[in-house]
Structure formats: C-alpha cells, structure tokens
C-alpha cells in the first residue's frame, strides 16, 4: 500500500480528534461556507461535469457504460443550486448528533456515570457515478464530527475533483475545523488501500450498485454499513383485502423499480390465490410489469416461468416473480430463506397474523398493509440518509446521522476508589438513574 495513503489515513485520525471538539456553531459555519462556495462555483462545477460527460461518450458507444449511469452523472445549474447546495443546508439544520447524553446514572454519592454520543472516528466512503454523493457524504461526516476518506468513480473524475477542492478550500482555516477532515482519493488502487487499513478506518460506507458493495464486503475486515441485495417480498395473506393487495403490489414494484426497497417476489396464500392472483397480476401487467410465476400461479394466469433462481434474484427492473404458498409458515420460511433481510411486507386484515409476521420475518424493516417503498430515511423521518443497512450490528434499515455516532462513558468522581466497594466493609453502589446531561458546567 502506498505510504502516502496511510499518512492520509493517519492525518484523518488526527483530524477526527480535533473535529470532535469543534462546537456545533463551528461545524455549522463550515457547512454554510460549503453551501456558499458551491453556489459561487456553479460554473466551474458544470465545466468539470461537462468534461466527465464528454469522456463518458466513447464508453457509452462501446457499451461499457450504460446511458442511465451517464444520466445520473449529469449536473445542471438547477441541480447544483437547488439540490446540492440546499442539501448541505439541510444537513446543517439537523439537530447536533454530538454530545447527546443518552443515559446518566449516579453510581454513588458524588460518583456519576454518563453515556455521551461521540463520532465513530474515520470513515471510508467508496461511491459510484453521482458526484453529489461526495458532497452529501462529506457534509454528513462534518456535521457528525467524523473525518472521511472518499473515493469516487472514475466516470465522475473531474466533477469529484472540483467538488473536493471546493469543500477543502471553503473549510480551510475555519475555527475548529482541522485540515485533513476530508480527503478525496483518485487512483483506482486507492480503493483496495482504503479496504486494507483496518487499523486506521473505522467504518466503510459503499454507495453504489450491488457489484460494488459485494466486492467491498468480500475484500475488507473493516465493518461495512450497507446492503448488497434488496430482495423484498409482499405476502398476500388469506385474510388480505384484495384491493389493498393489488395497490400495494403495484406501488411496491412500480414506484421506482430499480430501487433496493422495490418488491421482487409476491407470495400469495393458497386459500386466496384464485381470487387474488388474477386481479393483482392484471394490474401489474397493465403497468408493463413482466410477471414470472410458479406452477400454481401459472395454473391461474398466463405468465412466464419462475424457477428457483428467481427467488434469489434482485431484478432492479420491471419484473416480478409470484409464488403461491401453502400457508403462512411457508411464506415466512420463503422470505427468511430467499430474502435479503431488507424489507418485507404482509397484506392482511387479520391483526394477529400481521403481528406474527412482523415478529417472525427476519428483516431490517417489516411492513403491514403498506408498500415496501416506505423503507427510506426521508420517509422514516430520519432526515439525511446515510444509506440502508442490512447489518445486524450497530445500525439496521434506513440509517440517518445517528448511524455515524457511537458513545463514550464519562465517569465523574471526587477521589473515588474501586477498593471501597469490595471486601467485608464494601460500600454499595446506588445505581440511581439521573435526569441530567453532561457536562454539567457547559
């Protein structure tokens, strides 16, 4: 690994230790400076973006880069001013995640314990295509007091470089903001360098397609926050309202077919299949969805064949597979076996079946009588979204700023010794819950 990248990571660690002491006002001033600098540099940003678009054309012609990917790369004056600069101000306006007292306990007279939120430390972010991802992630890190090493995709090379320069220059020398709080890496081999630095980087956040995320998860010992697949299900129970089932199935597939929380497989209880399958499938076909069914589905409607591989495929497209199941248990079994533990829904009017489903399905989000598409940081009211996680540690489901925080324990005493609480004359702990925040003098 290049020594200079290790130096950068060390510098990021140093910076994180300075940044954690920046006040909320200092971090917000830096975010405002970034928003202003983006507004003032629209022309430079668009010029850099134009270079990326021109450079992308041969790859599109050759077929190595898809047209939708290039479209996601494209910036406009409106997008820069409205979406990106405004996005920075909306991060600024979020509640300060640092220094919240999560719990306070009196251990004994004059001996108090506080659990206080602090940033995780140094994050490594690897992202594709959209250059606005750089600004979003970097500003979320700044707000939450985390230092960050970023590596963007080569297709947005010029745009990323320009945004990176703007952010670094806008925050240089500002009170409380250390040099090195963010750094953008540019060489292809830097990706592996980031993944290898488990002693310097605390968390990897991948922002990009399935393939990128899987590659990252397979090639690092650093915890990765995210999800590879989004194989989501809608289970239409025997006690479902068929109207709701139809609308929810269509919304869950068609609201945004290529998103991770779109449905890929519909499961239909055998007792309601005859009544529900034709109606649901017709509605999907009317919206242009390609439907693939198992044998029992195909006995009811004229659709293509779904086989075992369909149950484990994230189509990211206007395709859905359908399976008729024997009963509730088989539906849950199917979801827990083939799903990606991202988001799964049940449609039923039976309260007790719903509760059983929500308890039994092993997923980050479980949904009753609503679309899987609600599983999203904005819709959940988390404010800015860091990503959606299918991890079973730290953060699960849509992740907001809170997901970039950890805590430290603060003990305040007045000469207290552990020995006092041991042996024959041992003093007892009071362990009384306190309603106060740390520090008391601030």
Smallest separation (angstroms) from a copy of itself to the CB of 210: 17
Smallest separation (angstroms) from a copy of itself to the CB of 88: 21
The Cα–Cα gap between 292 and 303 comes to: 6
Q: Which of 20, 166, 182, 281 binds a copy of itself (CB under 8 A)?
A: 20
Name the token pair of 419.
């020995």
Smallest separation (angstroms) from a copy of itself to the CB of 71: 19
Secondary structure of residue 111 in the 3-state scheme: strand
Q: Which of 32, 39, 241, 271 binds a copy of itself (CB under 8 A)?
A: 241
Sign of CA dihedral 301, 305, 308, 313: negative
Question: What part of residues 177-216 is at the interface with a copy of itself (CB under 8 A)?
Answer: 202-203
Q: Which of 109, 179, 362, 436 binds a copy of itself (CB under 8 A)?
A: 362
The Cα–Cα gap between 203 and 404 comes to: 9
Q: Which of 363, 384, 386, 401 binds a copy of itself (CB under 8 A)?
A: 363
From residue 386 to residue 425, the character string flagging contacts with a copy of itself as x (rule: CB under 8 A) and all else as - is ------xxx-xxx-------xxxxxxxxxxxxxx-xx---
Question: What part of residues 118-147 is at the interface with a copy of itself (CB under 8 A)?
Answer: 120-121
By C-beta, is 304 or 413 nearer to a copy of itself? 413
Tally of CB atoms within 10 A around 122: 25
Smallest separation (angstroms) from a copy of itself to the CB of 406: 5
Smallest separation (angstroms) from a copy of itself to the CB of 420: 8
CB 398 within 8 A of CB 61: no
CB 101 within 8 A of CB 81: no
The Cα–Cα gap between 166 and 78 comes to: 18
Smallest separation (angstroms) from a copy of itself to the CB of 176: 12
Of 75-83, 133-141, 158-166, 243-251, the segment contacting a copy of itself by CB under 8 A is: 243-251
Secondary structure of residue 46 in the 3-state scheme: helix
Which DSSP state fits 151?
Answer: E
φ and ψ at 363, to 5 degrees?
Answer: -140, 160
The Cα–Cα gap between 340 and 229 comes to: 6
Tally of CB atoms within 10 A around 413: 12
φ and ψ at 264, to 5 degrees?
Answer: -115, -35
Residues facing residue 325 across a β-bridge: 269
Q: Which of 24, 374, 427, 434 binds a copy of itself (CB under 8 A)?
A: 374
The Cα–Cα gap between 58 and 155 comes to: 12
By C-beta, is 215 or 298 nearer to a copy of itself? 215
By C-beta, is 418 or 424 nearer to a copy of itself? 418
Secondary structure element (H or E) that encloses residue 103, with its range = strand 101-108
431 near a copy of itself, rule: CB under 8 A:
yes
Smallest separation (angstroms) from a copy of itself to the CB of 393: 4
Of 30-38, 226-234, 273-281, 355-363, the segment contacting a copy of itself by CB under 8 A is: 355-363
Question: What part of residues 294-353 is at the interface with a copy of itself (CB under 8 A)?
Answer: 336, 345, 351-352
By C-beta, is 27 or 292 nearer to a copy of itself? 27
By C-beta, is 166 or 234 nearer to a copy of itself? 234
Q: Which of 248, 273, 300, 401 binds a copy of itself (CB under 8 A)?
A: 248
By C-beta, is 38 or 137 nearer to a copy of itself? 137
Q: Which of 187-205 are b and which e, b meaning 16 or more Cβ less than 10 Å from the residue's Cβ?
A: eeebbebbbbbeebbbbbb
Name the token pair of 143.
């707000």
Q: Which of 370, 427, 434, 437 binds a copy of itself (CB under 8 A)?
A: 370
CB 266 within 8 A of CB 252: no
Question: What part of residues 76-105 is at the interface with a copy of itself (CB under 8 A)?
Answer: 105
Q: Which of 4, 78, 286, 442 binds a copy of itself (CB under 8 A)?
A: 442
């Amino acid at each position: 690994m290049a020594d200079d990248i290790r130096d950068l990571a060390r510098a990021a660690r140093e910076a994180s230790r300075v940044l954690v002491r920046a006040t909320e006002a200092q971090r917000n001033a830096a975010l405002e400076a970034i928003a202003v600098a983006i507004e003032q540099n629209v022309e430079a940003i668009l010029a850099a973006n134009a270079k990326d678009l021109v450079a992308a054309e041969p790859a599109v012609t050759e077929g190595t880069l898809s047209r939708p990917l290039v479209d996601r790369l494209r910036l406009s004056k409106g997008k820069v001013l409205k979406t990106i600069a405004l996005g920075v101000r909306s991060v600024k306006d979020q509640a300060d995640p640092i220094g919240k007292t999560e719990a306070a306990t009196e251990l004994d007279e004059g001996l108090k314990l506080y659990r206080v939120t602090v940033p995780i430390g140094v994050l490594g972010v690897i992202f594709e295509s959209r250059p606005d991802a750089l600004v979003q992630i970097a500003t979320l890190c700044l707000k939450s007091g985390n230092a960050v090493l970023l590596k963007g995709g080569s297709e947005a090379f010029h745009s990323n470089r320009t945004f990176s320069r703007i952010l670094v220059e806008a925050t240089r020398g500002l009170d409380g903001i250390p040099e090195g709080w963010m750094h953008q890496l540019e060489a292809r081999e830097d990706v592996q360098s980031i993944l290898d630095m488990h002693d310097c980087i605390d968390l990897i956040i991948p922002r990009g397609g399935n393939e990128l995320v899987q590659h990252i998860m397979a090639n690092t010992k650093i915890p990765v926050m995210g999800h590879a697949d989004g194989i989501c299900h809608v289970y239409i129970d025997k006690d479902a309202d068929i109207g709701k089932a139809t609308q929810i199935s269509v919304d869950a597939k068609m609201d945004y077919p290529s998103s991770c929380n779109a449905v890929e497989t519909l499961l239909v209880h055998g007792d309601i299949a005859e009544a529900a399958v034709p109606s649901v499938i017709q509605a999907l076909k009317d919206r242009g969805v390609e439907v693939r069914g198992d044998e029992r589905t195909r006995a009811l409607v004229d659709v293509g064949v779904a086989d075992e591989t369909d149950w484990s495929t994230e189509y990211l497209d206007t395709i859905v597979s359908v399976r008729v199941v024997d009963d509730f248990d088989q539906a849950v079994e199917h979801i827990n076996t083939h799903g990606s533990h991202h988001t799964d829904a049940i449609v039923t009017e039976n309260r007790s079946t719903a509760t059983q489903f929500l308890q039994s399905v092993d997923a980050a989000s479980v949904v009753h009588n609503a679309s899987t598409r609600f599983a999203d940081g904005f819709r959940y009211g988390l404010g800015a979204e860091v990503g959606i996680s299918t991890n079973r540690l730290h953060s699960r489901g849509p992740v907001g700023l809170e997901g970039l925080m950890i805590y430290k324990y603060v003990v305040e005493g007045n000469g207290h010794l552990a020995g006092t609480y041991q042996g024959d004359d041992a003093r007892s702990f009071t362990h009384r819950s306190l309603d106060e925040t740390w520090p008391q003098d601030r």
